[in-house]
Each structure stands twice: as structure tokens, then as C-alpha cells.
């Protein structure tokens, strides 16, 4: 399994209070202990709203996790090309716009920054956004080089808008099942029907602020909803393609831990 969405919260690095919230520590060691029985062979460490533009924790986590793990960073619009390339060399593969919680570059910077990181380093763009807000963004997102949407878009009311973007090539993270307001299995099937390569699965650990945190049964839900062939893509192949993972290296490295 490739865990396409996880956070590392290491108290050695600074945190920024976000709307009165600070997460509890969840270190690399905590993460590895939590997922070891799940067959995780790689993943995407995502910068949270509470980390702002500070990349030190993310880069440290990638160094400790090793090949097979990549980063998704919140990046200032004023970041230089050299900074983008430095982060790329450290394993970062995407930029995140947190439109729901803040802490990232603003929506006004989306077009310019998304295109620049793709041109400079081949990164895609990830959005934490309520799907109810996607309709007015459709043309902008559909024109960007590569985009994914977090947590199945969160809202049933926005699912039609999300599916329209999927039909244009946008990816969707099957993550945060405890955050959504609809039957997850139905949404998974609808997205897979629109594009069987669109979905990538992630644990969302440590499930910060989620009404219901990740459970091992979320993995089973994917398999039961989609069947083994589609589920294999969602749990592994689609994400290794999105994040440009060398799968042989990732598997061997994890096995030898």
C-alpha cells in the first residue's frame, strides 16, 4: 500500500496555532508503528495548516523515512526556483493549497505557482477544499497541468462538481473517510466510474481534527467497494504514478527496515 496522505507532527519543530488548534505529536516513529501491519511501502507526507511555510519538519521526515516516501509542501509564492529544486531533491513532489484551513499560499497565487512548480520540478498541485466551492474554480483547475483534491471533496453537495473535474483528469484522494458527509463506498464507485485511475488512497494519519480518525477497516472498505483489481490501483499503482515513485526501490527499502 502507498499511503498518499499522512502528516508528521514532530515537537522538535515549530508549530503555528491554527484557529486555536495545535495537534498532538505524531512522529516518524509513531507513524511507522501505527502502519507497519498494513503493508505500507511508501507514502506522501503532507504539510499541515499548523506548519505554514516551514519545511524543516517535512524534509527531516522524508530523510528518516527514506526512498518510497515523498513530500507535499506548502510553499510561499515568493519562493525561488532554487528553493523549489532544493525541496525536489529532498523528495518533495507537490505543492499544497489549503483553502479550507489556511496556512498555505492564497487562492490568488494558484495559477502562477501551480504552473511554476510544474515547469521547474514536475510537481503537481493538491487542494484541500470543500467540493461545494469547486464549481467556480472548474475552468482554472481543468487548465492546470496536474491537480488532486483531498478527502473526496468532503461534501455530497459538491460531488457533481468534483466528478466533472475527474472527467478532465483531476485526481482525488480517498482519504479522511471520517471527515465526509456521504457514504464513502458510493463516492468511490462514482469517481472510479468517471476515471479508474483518479483515486489514490491515504490514511490521513494522525487524522487531525477529524470527527472519526482513520481505522484499518477503511482499507477493507476500498477493496469491498471497488473489487480487487480497481482497489489495487487505488491502494498502490495510481499513487506511484502520480508521485513518480520508483516502486522497486521503495519495496526493497521498506522490506529491509
Note whether 58 and 73 are within 8 A (CB).
Answer: yes
Return the pLDDT at 257. 37
| pTM for the structure as a whole | 0.93
* List of residues 6+ apart from 57 with CB closer than 8 A: 8, 9, 10, 12, 13, 51
Return the pLDDT at 247. 54
**Quick one: how far is CA 10 from the chain centroid?**
19
Which long-range CB contacts under 8 A does 105-109 form with residues at least 24 apart?
105/74, 105/75, 105/76, 105/77, 106/77, 109/77
- Ordered by where they begin, the domains of the chain are 2-255 (3.20.20.140)
**Quick one: how far is CA 213 from the chain centroid?**
16
Instruction: Give the total residue count for the chain.
Output: 257
List per-block mean pLDDT (blocks of 10 residues) for the chain, which spans 257 residues: 98 88 95 97 95 96 96 97 98 96 90 98 98 97 97 98 98 98 98 98 96 97 97 96 72 38
Say how many C-beta atoms besides its own lie within 10 A of residue 80's C-beta: 10
Amino acid at each position: 500500500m502507498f499511503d498518499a496522505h499522512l502528516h508528521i507532527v514532530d515537537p522538535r519543530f515549530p508549530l503555528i496555532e491554527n484557529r486555536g488548534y495545535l495537534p498532538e505529536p505524531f512522529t516518524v516513529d509513531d507513524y511507522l508503528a501505527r502502519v507497519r501491519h498494513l503493508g505500507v511501502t511508501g507514502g506522501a507526507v503532507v504539510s499541515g495548516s499548523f506548519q505554514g511555510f516551514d519545511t524543516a519538519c517535512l524534509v527531516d521526515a522524508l530523510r528518516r523515512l527514506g526512498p518510497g516516501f515523498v513530500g507535499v509542501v506548502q510553499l510561499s509564492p515568493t519562493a525561488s526556483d532554487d528553493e523549489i529544486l532544493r525541496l525536489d531533491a529532498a523528495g518533495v513532489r507537490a505543492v499544497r493549497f489549503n483553502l479550507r484551513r489556511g496556512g498555505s499560499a492564497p487562492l490568488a497565487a494558484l495559477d502562477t505557482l501551480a504552473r511554476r512548480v510544474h515547469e521547474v520540478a514536475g510537481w503537481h498541485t493538491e487542494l484541500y477544499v470543500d467540493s461545494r466551492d469547486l464549481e467556480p474554480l472548474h475552468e482554472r483547475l481543468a487548465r492546470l497541468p496536474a491537480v488532486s483534491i483531498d478527502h473526496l471533496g468532503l461534501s455530497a453537495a459538491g460531488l457533481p462538481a468534483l466528478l466533472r473535474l475527474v472527467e478532465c483528469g483531476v485526481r482525488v484522494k480517498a482519504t479522511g473517510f471520517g471527515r465526509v458527509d456521504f457514504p464513502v463506498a458510493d463516492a468511490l464507485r462514482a469517481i472510479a466510474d468517471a476515471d479508474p485511475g483518479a483515486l489514490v488512497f491515504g490514511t490521513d494519519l494522525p487524522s487531525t481534527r477529524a470527527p472519526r480518525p482513520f481505522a484499518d477497516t477503511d482499507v477493507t472498505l476500498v477493496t469491498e467497494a471497488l473489487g480487487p483489481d480497481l482497489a489495487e490501483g487505488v491502494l498502490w499503482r495510481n499513487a506511484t504514478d502520480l508521485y513518480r515513485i520508483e516502486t522497486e526501490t521503495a519495496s526493497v527499502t521498506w522490506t529491509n527496515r
